[in-house]
């Protein structure tokens, strides 16, 4: 039964409010940082992924800047793990342009960007020095 005449207990309401506050806080402070250097692409998503993750340049087979539909291609914005999706993992906040990576292991990763010219220049410089 989805609808009931009995109200939820005070404990259940407190837990629900706490969960909603935590989800709101995480969504407001979440920040994606991407750094491209000679080793590869370092990224972290505060407060979810606090340690730097690295996609080494040896793992990157090819890359491109592409347009995407967040809802159509990935089911929405944010961190998308790509389970059952043809485009793979995605990390995006706004816009519809991103850096699409095609990795040697067959996986794909997309980083949304508001500065496609800067990111493609950095990728070209990094990959030149293989």
pLDDT in tens, 14-26: 999 999 999 888 7
Would you kindly state where each structural domain of the chain is located, as residue ranges? 10-128
φ/ψ bin of 75: left (φ > 0), alpha (ψ from -120 to 50), beta (otherwise): left
The model's pTM is 0.76
pLDDT in tens, 72-117: 888 887 788 876 667 789 988 878 999 999 999 999 999 999 999 9
pLDDT at 70 over 80: yes
pLDDT in tens, 46-60: 887 778 899 999 999
> What pLDDT does 3 receive?
63
Mean pLDDT of the chain: 87
- Assigned CATH for 10-128: 2.30.29.30
φ/ψ bin of 84: left (φ > 0), alpha (ψ from -120 to 50), beta (otherwise): left
């Amino acid at each position: 039964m989805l609808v009931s005449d009995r109200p939820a207990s005070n404990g259940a309401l407190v837990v629900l409010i706490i969960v909603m506050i935590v989800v709101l806080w995480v969504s407001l402070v979440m920040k994606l940082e991407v750094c491209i250097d000679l080793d590869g692409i370092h990224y972290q998503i505060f407060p979810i992924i606090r340690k730097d993750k690295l996609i080494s340049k040896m793992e990157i087979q090819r890359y491109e800047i592409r347009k995407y539909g967040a809802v159509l291609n990935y089911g929405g914005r944010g961190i998308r793990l790509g389970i059952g999706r043809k485009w793979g993992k995605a990390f995006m906040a706004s816009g519809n342009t991103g850096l699409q990576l095609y990795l040697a292991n067959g996986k794909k990763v997309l980083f949304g960007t508001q500065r496609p010219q800067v990111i493609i220049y950095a990728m070209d410089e990094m990959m030149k020095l293989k």
